[in-house]
Amino acid sequence: MKVAVGPDPSLVYRPDVDPEVAKDKGRFRNFTSGPLLDRVFATYKQMHTQQTVDFVRKKHTQFGGFSYKKMTVLEAVDMLDGLVDESDPDVDFPNSFHAFQTAEGIRKAHPDKDWFHLVGLLHDLGKVLVLAGEPQWAVVGDTFPVGCRPQASVVFCDSTFQDNPDLQDPRYSTELGMYQPHCGLENVLMCWGHDEYMYQMMKFNKFSLPPEVGEGRGQGLGASSQGTVPPLCGHAAALLPGPHRQVLPWCAELVTSLARCPRGLCMHT
């Protein structure tokens, strides 16, 4: 795949968008209006209905052996040429652009943290599961813990969880649900998707990150759709021991980096 340097290449996919308008960051992550809203809402509705404790455990069993395919990072990025994320309200072009755009945005903001540049490049590679036949609602979108009541910071929280059977189960429908206070992030069962798949794949391959990242499990842990830092979707104060909370600022910074250059490739030289 050739990566263009220069003008925003996403305009090839959206020729009607004026470059100056595209720079208005206040328009990004808009889950209340926009031409893609119906598609985005339908994806989250399916996700928030189907993502249950039982479903997530089955997916861990199905994909936990990591036998789908062996490939390099750049081969995985190239695969994302064939994926348009149906949960993203901002973009309607291949996800491979987003991988480079995020890495370059982080490199510009944090030139001394090469590990963070790599996180930006890798953060969405788990979406190759869609190309393996998984439905998008089981792969894309913001993450949240299952096994407890969803918090208000979850996208479309007030209008998409009504048909989730876990919310009718007293074991899973309270604020902490099946968890004990301060149980630790490693004991939290996140919804299944590209973030959790990548986290588990990195553990399987003994991939390591610096201590300040700790148990990083995708930007959904530490940041809401607005880029703020509600605690673990509202749960960190209750679920995370003090040392584990060091990951939250980096999760928030990743979300901030995603918003800095959310369309096309902002190449930093």
Question: Is residue 199 assigned to a domain?
Answer: yes
Specify if 161 maps to a domain. yes
Q: Beta partners for 191?
A: none
Distance of CA 261 to the CA centre of its chain: 16
Is residue 23 situated within a structural domain?
Answer: no
Q: Which domain holds residue 251?
A: 32-260
List, as residue ranges, the binding site for Fe cation.
Answer: 98, 123-124, 194
Domain membership flag for residue 7: no
pLDDT at 15 (0 to 100): 35
Rounded to whole angstroms, how far apart are CA atoms 119 and 122?
A: 5
For residue 230, the model assigns a pLDDT of 32
Task: Answer yes or no: is 37 within a domain.
Answer: yes
Return the pLDDT at 251: 66
Main-chain phi, psi angles of 145, to 5 degrees: -75, 140
How much is the pTM?
0.75
Residue 238: inside a domain: yes
Q: Residues marked as binding?
A: 98, 123-124, 194
Domain total for the chain? 1
In Å, the largest CA–CA distance within the chain is: 54
Pairwise CA distance, residues 35 & 191, whole Å: 27
| pLDDT string in tens for the chain (269-residue length) | 444 434 444 344 333 444 444 445 555 566 776 778 899 999 999 999 999 999 999 999 999 998 878 899 889 999 988 888 899 877 666 888 888 888 888 899 889 989 888 888 888 899 999 988 999 999 999 889 999 999 888 999 999 999 999 999 999 999 999 998 878 777 889 999 998 998 888 888 888 777 655 444 544 443 333 333 333 434 555 555 555 556 666 666 665 655 554 443 333 33
Confirm whether 19 is domain-assigned.
no
CA nearest neighbour of 139 among 204, 96, 84: 84
- Give a yes or no: residue 112 inside a domain: yes
